[in-house]
Chain A
């Protein structure tokens, strides 16, 4: 079996997805998690690109529908990243540190949290 260009890109996409997934699950620092999410997203978009290439109609370089999906998905991923970074920066401004690792017990003082 010869390694076609689409198979190669498909494998690359899968590898990126794996790397990103590993990072997202293992890295404790939120910024690393956000970066891992973007690596995972990059792999995903590559897989969509491969799908577009494989499904190309006669005379077309690629199927445009998955390409349209990728554009929307990139916008969504950008929005998610921006939101995550914004929350992270705000958290840093509030506490001077950013981590998700130590589970601070939910404040048990029971003060009116509904203000």
Chain B
């Protein structure tokens, strides 16, 4: 057990969780008219907290820890930010910030207009999701992780059905059923681990755990539960329906961030809490599901009629890449590179996908529909949006120079060096399929012939800048030197 810092920096971890949470009652008391104002104050503050945590962790070169109330584990609750937490905290603050700013045009309360419920609900849920994510990234015991995951789910599910239409309610209910099943399985695993080893603290568990049936059953239960929440094939069926009717900002958060929360938990369980319990065969199974997700998700994306559904199925495919890191990382020499690739994929996909969902939202708002077949010539009226969409697509395809390229390159190299060439084939064919479905959209949108589609209203310039900013970030992540990327390993035994 490393020493527990009780210094002032440790309080940053508390702020990361309770900052957003404190905003929620404030919004409920002051009402919907002020919800946006409170949100707009909290967004930069939260980003500041994430940057401060990142700076502290990088300066110390070690994880930042804070024991709540001064009670050390196993009795107390320890918050701990390592390199993985830092990468995800920063990504979350950026994407939540962009989604919040974008939503101002959808959920704003015009001066003098009667107050609506939707803005209040949106902002309160956005902050709930943010708090849940931050808690999931800095918690260091499995029970706190469980609570964080539930907070995240209860924030994300109503975001899906914000419009209140019947099909969005069905989608939300289906998502909730999957999520509840997932949390029940996770909790069952937690009970088995506590019964066997008498602790849920990740560091203590890693010391005490033995490779035996109880630990293996617990790991299997927790993994399946988390996969249901991460929407890995074949447990992905709730995800596209959930995106179909969700507001664009909610889709960006859901696809970019919420599913990554449970992915980080799988890393915590497999690598940090139960090292060595998962056999290489189990890692191969996980990656096989990931490979199936890449192929099935991409093919389904190719066949979608609506732009938003195409982007949603693309998420199903891109989630698959995350799980290719598991078997590649178990070969020790290349393990670090594979994890860097996996985590970078999570970050760059979050940025790129948020950009694409917001771009799809802008297009739907501008021309009143998002049918790909009727999008001819939209590049002439929304050039910035389409440029950003293409740029984000670059990162998804894995073309250099972009975050997606470096992520997929690291995975590809690990696959070849680790003599697991079959994953290299999956990565390459996934890239080609991604290129195919993006080409379908872009070739239609950039068509020279045909009439220029009529715009329903003025173009949302602020929205365009946000979309472009996110797309640029997803590309710029790939320009970071490899040494800078290794910060994701600070404080981790990889």
Do A and B pair up? The answer is yes
Q: Given that A33-B177, A94-B169 are contacting pairs, would A108 and B305 also be in contact in the complex, using a CB cutoff of 8 Å?
A: yes
> Which residues of A (51-66) have their CB < 8 Å from a CB of B?
51, 54-55, 65-66
CB-based contact B183/A110 at 8 Å: no
Q: Does B370 contact A (CB under 8 A)?
A: yes
Task: Considering the complex, give the chain B residue whose CB is closest to the CB of A68.
Answer: B143
Which residues from A are CB-within-8-Å of B157?
A: 83, 87
Q: Are A113 and B370 in contact (CB-based, < 8 A)? A: yes
User: Within 8 Å CB of B172, what residues of A?
Assistant: 87
Tell me if A107 counts as interface (CB < 8 A to partner B): yes
The A-B contact count (CB < 8 A) is 139
* Tally of B interface residues using CB under 8 Å: 56
B154 touching A106, Cβ below 8 Å: no
Q: How far is the CA of A66 from the CA of B195 in the complex (A)?
A: 9
- State whether the Cβ of B248 lies closer than 8 Å to any Cβ in chain A: yes
Residues of A within 8 A of B183 (CB): 76, 80
Query: Is there contact, CB below 8 Å, between B177 and A24?
Result: yes
- A83 to B161 alpha-carbon distance, docked (Å): 12
Contact of A51 among B164, B194, B308 (CB under 8 A): B194
Q: How far is the CB of B15 from chain A (nearest CB, A)?
A: 22
Partner of A69, one of B169, B194, B309: B194
Q: Is B384 an interface residue (CB 8 A)?
A: no
Interface of A is mostly: helix
Chain A residues positioned under 8 Å from B241 (CB to CB): 106
Is the C-beta of B369 less than 8 angstroms from some C-beta in chain A?
yes
B233-246 CB contact bits vs A (8 Å, 1 = yes)? 00000001100111
A91 at the interface (CB under 8 A from B): yes
The CA-CA distance from A101 to B204 in the complex, in Å, is 44
Q: Assuming A79-B150, A79-B154, A114-B361, is B174 touching A107 (CB within 8 A)?
A: no
In the complex, what residues of B have CB within 8 A of residue A41's CB? Answer: 184
Complex contacts, B317 vs chain A, CB 8 Å = none
- Given known pairs A108-B306, A112-B365, A113-B364, the reply for A88 and B173 (CB within 8 Å) is yes
CA distance A87 to B176 in the complex (A): 10
Interface: A115 (CB within 8 A): yes
B-facing residues in A3-50 (Cβ within 8 Å):
17, 20-21, 24-25, 30, 33, 37, 40-41, 44, 47-48, 50
Residue of A nearest to B248 (CB): A114
A residues less than 8 Å from B167 (CB atoms): 104, 106-107
Contact A55 B180 (CB under 8 A): no
Contacts from A to B (Cβ < 8 Å): 17, 20-21, 24-25, 30, 33, 37, 40-41, 44, 47-48, 50-51, 54-55, 65-66, 69, 72-73, 76, 79-80, 83-84, 87-88, 90-91, 94-95, 100, 104, 106-115
| Residue contacts A-B, CB under 8 angstroms, 11 given | A21-B184, A24-B180, A37-B181, A40-B184, A47-B188, A84-B176, A91-B173, A104-B167, A108-B305, A111-B368, A112-B368
* Further contacts, 19 of them, CB under 8 A, given A44-B188, A83-B158: A51-B194, A54-B195, A55-B195, A55-B198, A65-B75, A80-B150, A80-B153, A84-B173, A84-B177, A87-B169, A90-B161, A94-B169, A100-B177, A106-B309, A112-B370, A113-B246, A114-B248, A114-B308, A115-B247
